[in-house]
Amino acid sequence: MKAETLERRSFLLGLGGAMALGGTRLALAQGPAGDKRLVVVLLRGALDGLAAVAPYGDPGFATLRGPHAPPEPGQEGGTRDLGGFFGLHPALARLHDLYVADQALVLHAIAGPWRSRSHFEAQDFLECGATQRLPDGWLNRALAAMPAETPGSARRGLALGIDVPLLLRGPVRVGSFASQARARPDTQVLAALARLHRADRELGPAFAEGLRSRGFSSGVLAGLEPPPPGTSGFVTLAGSAARLLADPRGPRVAALELGGWDTHATQGPRLAGALRVLDEGLEALRAGLGAAWAQTAVLVMTEFGRTARINGTQGTDHGTAGVAFLLGGAVRGGRVLADWPGVGPGRLFENRDLAPTLDLRRVAKGLLADHLGLNEAALARAFPNSRDADPLPGLVA
């Protein structure tokens, strides 16, 4: 326990111990790669990393966020401590349990190499693994390097939901699974549509009544009340993904996605609701995978972070660096991995966003190398032109 605590400190102090290890990743790749599971969770809309994982130890943070900075660990409604400097949003209670069990790794001040702050472009880049649009995704190209499925087994790749995300599109055929429940647009989209309909004499009243009949009152749409229960298919899908992945003849790589992160206004309650759904979904993954959890790594990532300061509508706008999570029985967790850039005066990227100090591609490549056993050539195919982003070692046991 003592050693782990020290290790956590060394990371949170920005010493970057694991990065210094370098060059040992081949030695770390062990066990039959065929049993490893990799799940990628795409958070579409840009999660506010500073709200999800608050750097309460940074004196600049309280100044920056003022009343929007959450209470510190130990206080009422406070964040859950991640080793004395960062605090995890209270809605991520089960993720915190995993952290305590050394099965969750938090990656902070992380970003892809793009800086455009456009959701659509950034999501495409996040998924295709390049800074130009490609027709296929890095996870599909990674599948191409894995041994093909044996007869009678499911496809190695699995897309959860109605659609196959770009991340998993490409020459390797993947399976897909959608639950019966139809995916509902998230509350913010409904709120935007309600606004657009309001002035319409013919449609306005009917649209508002329709939303009300589905449990979306004006309070819900304004982000003041939680959305009605059962609005997220994510938890169900995560549970289904887990059961399929747990099957010895099932898929080994899966992708699912969750929206609702684009919190331009009334971020507090909106984010809490979305994080709770994420937390429940991750728990459904863990529970459903059973013994296979020990062989599993789950990468949770988003297209970019949000502005460090709160905007004029109690929300945050599109930013740069943010947070990613890596969890699973195979993960060397219980740590926050961050070369912390600080959020005090003069430390922000373009005087507005958390500055990126860790390239998201390094995490993805590190996982593909050490968890799925991809060699250097396969990594280069998955992430073209990424020589400046070498695989991050030491992510998995």
Q: Can you give the binding site for other proteins, defined by CB under 8 A? A: 44-46, 119-120, 123, 135, 161-166, 169, 182-186, 188-189, 192-193, 195-197, 200, 202-204, 206-207, 209-211, 213-214, 259-262, 264
Is 392 in contact with 339 (CB distance < 8 Å)?
no
- Nearer residue to other proteins within complex by CB, 209 or 376: 209
* 320 vs 280: CA distance, rounded Å: 27
Least distance CB 195 / other proteins (angstroms) = 7
User: For the chain, how many residues are written?
Assistant: 397
- Termini Cα distance of the chain: 17
Helices (H) and strands (E) in the chain, counts: 15, 12
User: Alpha helix (H) ranges present in the chain?
Assistant: 2-12, 17-21, 25-28, 49-52, 59-65, 93-100, 119-128, 138-144, 187-198, 204-213, 218-221, 234-246, 267-289, 360-370, 376-382
- Nearer residue to other proteins within complex by CB, 77 or 229: 229
The two structure tokens encoding residue 148: 């093909």
Least distance CB 313 / other proteins (angstroms) = 11
Least distance CB 164 / other proteins (angstroms) = 6
- Nearer residue to other proteins within complex by CB, 79 or 263: 263
- Nearer residue to other proteins within complex by CB, 42 or 374: 42
H/E stretch holding 53: strand 53-54
- Nearer residue to other proteins within complex by CB, 148 or 162: 162
Least distance CB 133 / other proteins (angstroms) = 9
- Nearer residue to other proteins within complex by CB, 20 or 120: 120
Q: Is 269 helix (H, G, I), strand (E, B) or coil?
A: helix
Residues 71-108, buried b or exposed e (16+ Cβ, 10 A)? eebeeeeebbbbbebbbbbbbbebbbebbeebbbbbbb
- Nearer residue to other proteins within complex by CB, 19 or 183: 183
Least distance CB 47 / other proteins (angstroms) = 10
Least distance CB 211 / other proteins (angstroms) = 8
Least distance CB 250 / other proteins (angstroms) = 22
DSSP string for residues in 220-246: HHTTSSPPPTT--SHHHHHHHHHHHHH
Is 95 in contact with 279 (CB distance < 8 Å)?
yes
Pseudo-torsion of CA 356, 360, 361, 363, nearest 10°? Answer: 130
Least distance CB 169 / other proteins (angstroms) = 7
Closest by Cα among 12, 44, 51 to 303:
44
The two structure tokens encoding residue 14: 């920005």
Least distance CB 144 / other proteins (angstroms) = 18
- Nearer residue to other proteins within complex by CB, 10 or 118: 118
- Nearer residue to other proteins within complex by CB, 165 or 273: 165
